[in-house]
Amino acid sequence: MSWKKEWKAVALVLGGFLLCFYLPIGSSRFDNALFEAFHLVKWYAREHVILCLVPAFFIAGAIAVFVSQASVMKYLGANAPKVLAYGVASVSGTVLAVCSCTVLPLFMGIYRMGAGLGPATAFLYSGPAINVLAIILTARILGLQLGIARAVGAIVFSVVIGLLMHLIFRKEELEKAKAAAVMPDAEVERPLWQNGLYFAAMVAVLVFANWGKPDQTEGFWYLLYDWKWALTGLAAFGLGAILVAWFNARWWKVAIVGAVVLVSALLAPREPMLPYILGVLGLVYITNTGDEKMQDWSSSTWTFAKQILPLLFFGVLAAGFLLGRPGEEGLIPSQWVASLVGGNSIWANLFASLVGAFMYFATLTEVPILQGLIGSGMGQGPALALLLAGPALSLPSMIVINSVLGVKKTAVFVSLVIVMATVSGMLYGLMAA
């Protein structure tokens, strides 16, 4: 045996053995970190997979099947007008109230369909970062000044990060632009307004099903929360009608699924997840037994799911093990974090950006977490840095982004978010002092 050729395998086996030999089972910190990892992945599976990721997978699958590559490139491609491309990408978060993981299937869908790297990464950042409800909640709980700073910073970030990604990898973008220039015009199967209503119905289901409870029990935002399932059902009804009218779905299949969902909602009004799950299963049935395009939609949706879900669950486990759930501790003590983000130093802002980038935040959960950290002495600058880096990134999302963009582009994207969040935090901290 040649040790020169086998040294990597030997090192791997030896390292694995030593890791198992010295595994600190029995240590309260280690055992609790394991508990937090599995508790977080259980919570993620219950709260986000069905409500967030499943609709996102269907939307991504629909993009791949029903939106032509030429159409995507017309609005978001390397040759698209920059104002149009970055304008569309940067304001997407005002519509999509999603977390850093839910936006991934949508990002993967438009990028693989030919969207330019700049607009695609602008969309990737803005999707979870520019959330109207989160920004309003930030202003209401953490102060108007911080809420405005978050809104302005998130919009500027998305455009600047997209432009920098385009410039850094401009050679690849130029090649993509040349390839796009020789593509034939897309065949139009249905008018743009029909496709727009189709995607609007699916996005409405995604948004209303995940509408978070506001801190007050009155007003417009609470009214939307109070009626969230009715609005979700209305959007689903609209989607069913669209599928029958424009996508060749059998009307009797859609009617049967709609009847089952309605009866379950009437019989179990306090269990809204039951009709929601039945509706998802009904959509799976309709697409799998439809014409060729509908079956392609189902197949594409499943392709995104099997590519993304294993990576996400692994990332959530790792994030839970290291940082714990919101309000709980993992392997890294929370007091370390609180003690390192006081003041407005470079280190405090950088540390807040790093923690925010690697920790998983569900939509809106970053606000109460920051409220506790600010109460423990966190500076205003690091608070903004965490707000700008946290919702847009997480360890699970980085793993998936790497599978799409590769190590180099992922590292540049993550570094840009962290550096810009750090600088923005420092500037805001100086202004707020």
In a domain, 307, yes or no: yes
In a domain, 259, yes or no: no
Sign of CA dihedral 206, 210, 214, 219: positive
Q: What is the pLDDT of residues 211-246, one digit of tens each?
A: 877 767 777 777 888 899 999 999 999 999 999 999
Strands (E) across 124-207 are located at none
Mean pLDDT on 81-109 = 74
The closest alpha carbon to 387, from 53, 163, 141, belongs to: 141
In a domain, 19, yes or no: no
Q: Give pLDDT, residue 66.
A: 84
Do residues 236 and 264 touch, judged by C-beta distance below 8 A? no
* Residue, of 124 and 283, whose pLDDT is higher: 283
In a domain, 128, yes or no: yes
Q: What is the pLDDT of residues 410-420, one digit of tens each?
A: 999 999 999 99
Domain count, the chain: 1
Pairwise CA distance, residues 302 & 300, whole Å: 5
Q: Quick one: tokens of 74?
A: 């017309």
Task: Write phi, then psi, for 277 (nearest 5 degrees).
Answer: -65, -40
Q: Which stretches of 182-227 are DSSP H helices? A: 192-209, 220-226
In a domain, 298, yes or no: yes
Q: Give pLDDT, residue 3.
A: 60
Q: What is the pLDDT of residues 325-360, one digit of tens each?
A: 766 778 877 677 667 777 788 899 999 999 888 887
Q: What is the pLDDT of residues 154-169, one digit of tens each?
A: 888 888 998 999 899 9
pTM: 0.76
Q: Percent of the chain having pLDDT more than 70?
A: 87
Q: Quick one: tokens of 388?
A: 């700008």
Please give the residue range of the domain that contains residue 408: 30-249+290-432
In a domain, 273, yes or no: no
Q: Quick one: tokens of 201?
A: 């119905």
In a domain, 342, yes or no: yes
